[in-house]
Amino acid sequence: MKKYYQYFVKSKQYIYIFQKRIIIGIILLTAFSIGYLQYKNRYCYNNNITKTSLYWNEINTKFNKKIINDSDIKSAVQFSEKNKNCYGIFLLLKIASYHVSKKNYSEAEKELKMAIKNSKDINLKSILKINLARIYIQQKNTKNAKKILKNIKETQWSPFIYNILGDIEIITKNNKNIANQLYNKALNLNTSPILEKLLHAKISNLSIQ
């Protein structure tokens, strides 16, 4: 499997950017923005938890400014374990993103699993599972990545799922034909402009090799 990773990375260094920044960055950002809007509006604002929201605002600012330290991470994990509401879930996403930036994928996996367990919102669970599938790919555990994607039943996430399945075909088998079909399936569905642009880049990249 290692040689396929190396092969894919060498192609215009496109997949390097894709794996390190675009994929995980886009999905985590999507998770945070969409999940935040849908879930917080329905749950957080209906539960006036002043201390919780104040802590969230404080720690979220540190994450955004990239001034987080090990003590903050420990505190954030403890907060999330005690607060199994939207604030705790969004914070677990932040912690997972932090671990991904440090290439500590096992810790990111653990936080995302906890977030999935604590979430009561179906769409938010789906977003979290997509994130977890990406983590599994980084760990070269494509079997678990496929397994968790099959558990996502909401059709609005199909473009993201086909996109990831296409990546798996390249990574495990270097099967450009199947990957191309999956990327095009994703394109044919209503998807975000960012994902659409990424898919076009992947398809173009396959055609020139």
Helix, coil or strand: residue 116: helix
Is it the case that residue 135 has pLDDT exceeding 60? yes
First to last CA, the chain: 19
Does 34 or 107 have the greater pLDDT score?
A: 107
In this prediction, what percent of the chain has a pLDDT beyond 90? 44
Is it the case that residue 50 has pLDDT exceeding 90? no
Mean pLDDT, all residues of the chain: 80
Q: Domain of 42: which CATH number?
A: 1.25.40.10
| Amino acid identity, position 188 | N
Domain range spanning residue 107? 2-207
Alpha-carbon span 142 to 165, nearest angstrom = 9
CA 44 → CA 50, 53, 154, 189, distances in Å?
10, 9, 23, 32
Q: Specify the number of domains making up the chain.
A: 1
pLDDT digits (tens, 9 = 90+) for 51-62: 788 888 899 899
pTM: 0.79
Is it the case that residue 199 has pLDDT exceeding 60? yes
* 59-73 mean pLDDT: 92
Is it the case that residue 13 has pLDDT exceeding 70? no
Helix, coil or strand: residue 147: helix
CA 16 → CA 38, 44, 157, 159, distances in Å?
32, 37, 24, 21
Alpha-carbon span 25 to 21, nearest angstrom = 5
Residue 209: per-residue pLDDT: 56
Is it the case that residue 44 has pLDDT exceeding 80? no
Residue 195: per-residue pLDDT: 87
Is it the case that residue 11 has pLDDT exceeding 80? no
Sorting pLDDT into bands at 50, 70 and 90, what band is 39? low
